[in-house]
Structure 1
Amino acid sequence: RSIHPLKHLLLIDWLFDDLRSFLKAYDAEVARLVQRVASTPSRKPDEQVSLSNAAAPTKNTPRPKRLKGQLKEVLLSKLGKGIPKQKLCKELEISVSAINRLLRANPVTNALAIEARNSRELAEHRAQWQYLHNLHPELGVQALRNTIPSIYAWLYRNDKAWLMAKEQTFVKPAKVEKHPIDWEARDSRLLSMIRTAYEAITGLQRGPVTTTELYARVPMLSSCLENRNRYPASRAFLSTVLRRSKSKVLHDHVQCGKASGFR
């Protein structure tokens, strides 16, 4: 009964050719068992009584320990102080189920045990967090939290007020002063690079200078121009040289057309 039906199906498929063969063998086995039971003589009443007595547990069979008297009082006292159940089981040689039954029968002690356990866990987590803080006093809250996230998460859920108060004692990370960006100097450097690239291109060819050629020689030009509020001098020079190149192309086309018409 504890085996999954799919395992039965796999075994049937492995042992028999098909379902009909299995059913035939099953019916034959059932008939054999019925015949054997029918042929077995019935037991006498005395024998049945002896069998039932044999099935019953003997006097030496260990039973769950009943908690009463001094053992019960000692156990209730220790549970009320928050001593862990596992430790008491090993010390007094009793089972956890016996302790649970005793706590259910004594709700006041159960409440004291829960309160003591919570207080112990609270003290342990506080001590661990304080130990980490003393071990790494130079770290801020975020850095210390990343060291052992589980401690911070537990305190945040169960003791948030204490945790927030402790955070006030942490060393604040030094603020890095942000120096203002000298946009004029950046614009001047970019303008110098564009001029150098423009002169190099015009020195190698007689045709117009294109944007693609300038971007190829000044790779940072594309990203700089994305900031539309910066680099005014570079933009003005770029616009001038590109407009000049377009005008030169147009002039060359006109001159070429006139020459063709003259001929």
Structure 2
Amino acid sequence: MGNALFSSLTTVASSPSSFISSPVKDGSTSDGYEQKYQRLVLSLKRNQNRLFLSGEVARVNEVTRNGRVFTRNAMAKAMEAVKLPMFGRLEHPECDASDAESVERYRRRFRCVACSKPNGANETPAMTDAVSLDGIMDHQTSHVVHDLYFNGSAVVVVVEVLECTEAGRKVREVYEKAGGLVGASMRAWGSSTEAALDVDSGGIDDGGASGGNAKNIRAVCEEGFELITIDLVANPSHTLAYLQPHLGNLVK
């Protein structure tokens, strides 16, 4: 029944090169290669060839692949504490919860410094000019998180893929050359407790009772839940967390 510290709210399988949601075969895939390509072309045209991606990263009150559930209150509180824009990386950093240095690397938050344009207007900074508050970026830094918001029960993220890092260029190649999609995953820190999910009602019993039509889960505790950033990954814990080229016009 007690709380257990966990280093990540998502579990990512070790798969360093498999960022494609489905392989390209004979010019098409089950995901519709032509449709994805046309969406990519339109997105790049609307944003001066800068690659923005968007989509769900999580849903509240739904069980993830690794058996955890986030309440809306816990998620909303963590999202309110996040200051955007901020950097994310390609795959979560490894974390040994028993090692302080490893934990520090995992919990390190890189926030962006917005660039001022020559004309004085504050615009979305060109990612060739991206810098962090302390002047460094992780070698796996791949994108900037520009927006994070609720759409019903879904948490939606909008990111821009970096043009100035190797990790960012790898992500862009997945979309432009492989016709694939990359997953998104929360990098977060906190604790969870045993609970039971009523499959019929979707309600959570924090006492961990398992009577009737119930499923044992880990409910993420609201207190101490820290959302660090959104990373891009091969295998997200939320099954719908594969980002599409963003169709909005974000570059003014």
TM-score under structure 2 length normalisation: 0.15
Q: Relative contact order (C-alpha < 8 Å, sep 6+): which is higher?
A: 2
If each structure's helix is expressed as a fraction of its own residues, which one has the higher value? 1
TM-score under structure 1 length normalisation: 0.15
